[in-house]
């Protein structure tokens, strides 16, 4: 596997290469990322993985400086799975003091309401990376459901010739979705963290059992989390296709949640087809 850190070198390496499948990441790779890389392999001859902790998608009081950076371990994990590993510096991706940005739809909804500017940062870096790598296929995890929606919108609305594929969430045995941020949890918080998924499962069950008062389900789920010491940003039932409030009778839904345990903000979601 080749490790490349500049745009010029990457362009040189990929010139004339057909069938590029791309997995953008912020590194600190876990099984969830490696599954995305395996999906990419099924869709392309040349698998490119990027690792870049994107400052543009972190708010002023967020964890940009403490976000785990484990480049060597990441390289080792990708050996034999990816063909090209792109790890640019901040200066390489953002050489100008004033960055052109992309404002995607729903940027201020759901997680966007609690992380102002986050999806602008995501959309901007993903568009830059797509322009640099020029993949035919790109794979993103469904765990970041709103991010996947935003990336699909960017690709579709800006007419990018890339197919976006969503990879299923990989979970620990207690249901906790794998995330680089799980390592911030204390031992006690880690024990509690599986409850987020349990709450999603019981909310889904209520929906499958015919409960249609979604506002009440959202409220009950948030109260259950709060009672156990979580600080809830939101629990929301939305339409899968639009991430908007579902029309009555809508069948393809998703329950999305974001809540904090101590200092750690966790997100998760569960699709429900009624």
Footprint on this chain of ligand PAF (rule: CB under 6 A)? 24-26, 54, 57, 122, 125-126, 144, 147
The nearer residue to ligand PAF, 104 or 246, going by C-beta atoms, is 104
Q: Is 30 designated active site?
A: no
Closest distance of CB 174 from ligand PAF, Å: 23
Q: Which of 30, 33, 43, 118 is catalytic?
A: 33
In the complex, the smallest distance separating the C-beta of residue 53 from ligand PAF, rounded to whole angstroms, is 8
Q: How far is the CB of 129 from ligand PAF (least distance, A)?
A: 8
The enclosing H or E element of 187 equals helix 187-193
Q: CB 110 → ligand PAF: shortest distance, Å?
A: 15
Which is closer to ligand PAF, CB of 64 or CB of 234? Answer: 64
Question: In the numeric block, which tokens belong to residue 112?
Answer: 């966007």
Take residue 77 and report the two structure tokens written for it: 């994990």
Our CB check for ligand PAF shows the closer of 78 and 126 to be: 126
- DSSP calls for 92-131: HH--SSS------TTTTSTHHHHSTTHHHHHHHHHHHHHH
Encode 18-57: b = buried (16+ Cβ within 10 Å), e = exposed. Answer: eebbbbbbbbbbbebbbbbbebbbebbebbbbbbbbbebb
Nearest CA among 156, 163, 189 for reference residue 174: 189
Q: Which is nearer to ligand PAF, 147 or 203 (CB)?
A: 147
The catalytic site residues sit at 33
């Amino acid at each position: 596997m080749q490790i490349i850190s500049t745009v010029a070198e990457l362009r040189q390496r990929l010139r004339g290469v057909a069938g590029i499948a791309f997995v953008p990441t912020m590194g600190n790779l876990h099984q969830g990322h490696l599954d995305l890389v395996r999906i990419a392999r099924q869709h392309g001859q040349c698998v490119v993985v990027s690792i870049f902790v994107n400052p543009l998608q972190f708010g002023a009081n967020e964890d940009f400086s403490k976000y785990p950076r484990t480049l060597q371990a990441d390289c080792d994990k990708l050996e034999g799975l990816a063909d090209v590993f792109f790890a640019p510096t901040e200066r390489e991706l953002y050489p100008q003091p004033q960055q052109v940005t992309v404002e995607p739809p729903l940027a201020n909804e759901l997680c966007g309401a609690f992380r102002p500017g986050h999806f602008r940062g995501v959309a901007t870096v993903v568009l830059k990376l797509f322009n640099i790598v020029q993949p035919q296929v790109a794979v993103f995890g469904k765990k970041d459901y709103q991010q996947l929606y935003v990336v699909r919108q960017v690709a579709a609305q800006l007419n990018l010739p890339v197919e976006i594929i969503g990879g299923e969430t990989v979970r620990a045995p207690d249901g906790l979705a794998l995330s680089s941020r799980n390592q911030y949890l204390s031992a006690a918080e880690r024990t509690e963290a599986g409850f987020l998924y349990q709450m999603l499962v019981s909310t889904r069950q209520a929906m499958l059992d015919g409960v249609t008062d979604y506002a009440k389900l959202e409220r009950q789920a948030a109260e259950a989390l709060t009672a156990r010491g979580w600080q809830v940003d939101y629990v929301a039932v939305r339409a899968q296709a639009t991430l908007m409030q579902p029309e009555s009778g809508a069948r393809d839904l998703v329950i999305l949640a974001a809540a904090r345990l101590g200092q750690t903000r966790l997100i998760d979601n569960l699709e429900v087809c009624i």
